[in-house]
Amino acid sequence: MKIKLLLSTLLLAAGHAGAASIVYGMGSEPTSLESGNINDTGSALAQAQIYDTLVSFKPGTTTPQPGLALRWQANATSTEWTFFLRPGVKFTDGTPFNADAALFNLNRWWDPKDPNGYRDANKDWQSWGRAFNGFKGDPKGTVKDILKEGPYRIRFVLSKPYADFPLVIGSTFFGMASPAAVRKAGADYGTPRAGAVGTGPFIYQSWTTGDRMVLRANPGYWGGAPKSDGLVLRFIKDPSARLNELKSGTIDFTSDLNPDALANVRADRRIEPVLKPSFNVGFLSLNSSNPYLKDVRVRRAISMAINKKAIVESFWGDLGVSDNSFLPPALAWANSKQVPANVMYDPKAAKALLAAAGYPNGFSLDLWYMPVSRPYFPTPKPIAEAMAADLSDIGIKVNLKTEDWAAYLQHRFQPGFDMYMIGWTPGNGSPLDFYGAYYGADVSSDSKYAPPELDALLLQAQAAIGRTQQARVYGQIHKLTHDAAVRIPIVHSRPLAAKVPNLQGWTPSPLGTEAFTTVFKN
């Protein structure tokens, strides 16, 4: 009897330990918990814990699977998409998810006149605008109408064919929020003051600015209760500090470590490396309205002067690759055969281009670097210093600048930067998610580069069906954007993550964000 009691006690203790809260170290603090109104990975990762989207992705892949929609179907031209919603799902405030709730979210993102959009509080719904070329009433807007066709069925009517529409609407940016919670909080929804309510695996508890966000498990989650009791998201900007905290046991797992830390991680028995899939781009963005940068010869000179391969070898080692594409190697099928695969480093030719443009003695430009580590730029400042050194060799004096992350994301558009470092990890597996995020009239206020022929090609890519047709259009986009040298690819990285040995169930997504539903400490 005593042995049985002892075994029962040990099993209960083990079960409780397995369900303990887990702590994740983030490289940046979320800017908002308001879905549809973000454009940064930190916010997307936090929202992935709280919200669900209509379409989900199989763990560790870019393959779509049912989310809040059980299935979806298109008409013959892919201009209408009908989604059949999952019945019986509730938001964590107890209110039901159904077609009315879905339309509430969709309309506040899409319709400028929707009173729940709170646009008078400077909410611009940038995620929707970028993904769908504008809003209701915009001549170029992708979505023409959104209709309720039953208590659990909605239909999107598009202005043009869109074969990958389910992938885009499944992006982490478009999580479904509780209408009751949004109405209650008003314009404060998604801030530390008001929090957020979704149907997701975790429930928002608190957000201490500059420190952490605390979530607890949703025991009634439709996809199965999380395997941990709760989740703490710690905001630790410095990668070395995150690694030290992981070693000391104050966090359980983290991402976006310095690539040169790989040997250190492998040598330390207290932690284990996790190599995330490579599916991103880190690039240098140029403002083509700048008096110097408006000349394409100057932009090409800058691209040729930066020793991209040496920079990648120095800062990423085997965890990065540099090439002439905005797309990662996994999407190489969409590259143009007219663009050399290997990058060109030729300071002499770059200097000659500057002279031909009328600047034999060079000039001065500001280069803004990110204040936080991201998967594509884990150590932004030293990488910026390396680029500045290369540019000085051809006579361009670089002034390095940075500022708070939220301000950085805003000020790159207005008043704008000469040059700045940024990158992209997509919300889905389509090449259009890379190009569409930074090319086109609606997303180019930072670069001022939006030729009509590029917009036309982006629309063709959106409508293209089948790999052959898509490859032909994307190849043209690749050639046009490469020759313009406005967004200069520096790296496609394989982000270094790490965890404590007893953390189980973590399958990192190539899309950069994933819900931690299955993660637990054994």
| pLDDT 10s digits, 222-253 | 999 999 999 999 999 999 999 999 999 999 99
Angle between helices 380-392 and 296-305 (to 10 degrees): 110
Distance in angstroms (rounded) separating the CA atoms of residues 4 and 388 = 69
Contact status, residue 424 vs residue 278, Cβ threshold 8 Å: no
- Reported as a pLDDT band with limits 50, 70 and 90, residue 119 is very high
Cα separation of 239 and 509, whole Å? 20
Average pLDDT, integer, range 365-373: 96
pLDDT of residue 126: 86
State how far the Cα of 306 lies from the Cα of 181, in Å rounded to an integer. Answer: 49
Q: What's the pLDDT at 4?
A: 44
pLDDT averaged over every residue in the chain = 94
pLDDT for 11 equals 37
- Grade residue 347 by pLDDT with cuts at 50, 70 and 90: very high
366 Cβ contact partners less than 8 Å away, ≥ 6 residues apart: 398, 399, 400, 401, 417, 418, 419
Count the alpha carbons within 13 Å of 81 in the hemisphere toward its beta carbon.
24
Residue 305 parent element (H or E): helix 296-305
User: In the prediction, which pLDDT does 276 show?
Assistant: 87
Q: pLDDT per residue over 47-67, tens digit each?
A: 999 999 999 999 999 999 999
Q: Quote the pLDDT of residue 140.
A: 85
Q: With bands split at pLDDT 50, 70 and 90, how would you rate the model's confidence at 324?
A: very high
pLDDT value at position 6?
41
The arithmetic mean of pLDDT across residues 70-99, rounded, is: 97
Task: Output the pLDDT for position 5.
Answer: 41
Give the rounded distance of the alpha carbon of 475 from its chain centre: 23
Provide the pLDDT for residue 485: 98
Average pLDDT value for residue range 190-201: 97
DSSP states along 193-235: TT----SSSEEEEEEETTTEEEEEE-TT-TT---SSSEEEEEE
Give the pLDDT mean for 349-375: 96
> What one-character DSSP code corresponds to residue 149?
E
Compute the CA torsion angle 165, 171, 177, 179 (nearest 10 deg): -20
Rounded distance, CA 197 to CA 213, Å?
Answer: 14
Bridge partners, 85 (sequence order): 69
Buried b (16+ CB within 10 A) or exposed e, 238-250: ebeebbebbbeee
Instruction: Report the pLDDT value the prediction gives residue 10, as an integer from 0 to 100.
Output: 40
pLDDT attached to residue 223: 97
Give the per-residue pLDDT at 133: 86
| pLDDT for 512 | 83
Distance CA 69, CA 399 (A): 49
Distance CA 449, CA 390 (A): 25
Report pLDDT for 479: 98
Mark residue 221 as left, alpha or beta (left: phi above 0; alpha: psi -120 to 50; beta: remaining).
Answer: beta
Distance, CA of 285 to CA of 368 (rounded, Å): 10
> According to the model, what pLDDT value does residue 337 have?
96
* pLDDT for 2: 44
Interhelix angle 467-484/431-438, rounded to 10 degrees, is 30
Calpha distance 335→158 (Å, rounded): 27
pLDDT at 161 over 70: yes
Instruction: Give per-residue pLDDT as tens, 451-465.
Output: 999 999 998 999 898
Give the 3-state secondary structure of residue 246.
Answer: helix
Q: Residue 8 above 90 pLDDT?
A: no
Mean pLDDT, residues 433-452 taken together: 93
Q: What digits encode the pLDDT tens for the residues 273-323?
A: 999 888 999 999 999 999 999 999 999 999 999 999 999 999 999 999 999
| Axis crossing angle, helix 467-484 with helix 296-305, rounded to the nearest 10 | 100
pLDDT confidence tier of residue 130, bands split at 50, 70 and 90:
confident
Whole-number pLDDT of residue 1: 45
Q: At 14, is the pLDDT very low, low, confident or very high (cuts 50, 70, 90)?
A: very low
% of the chain exceeding 70 in pLDDT: 97
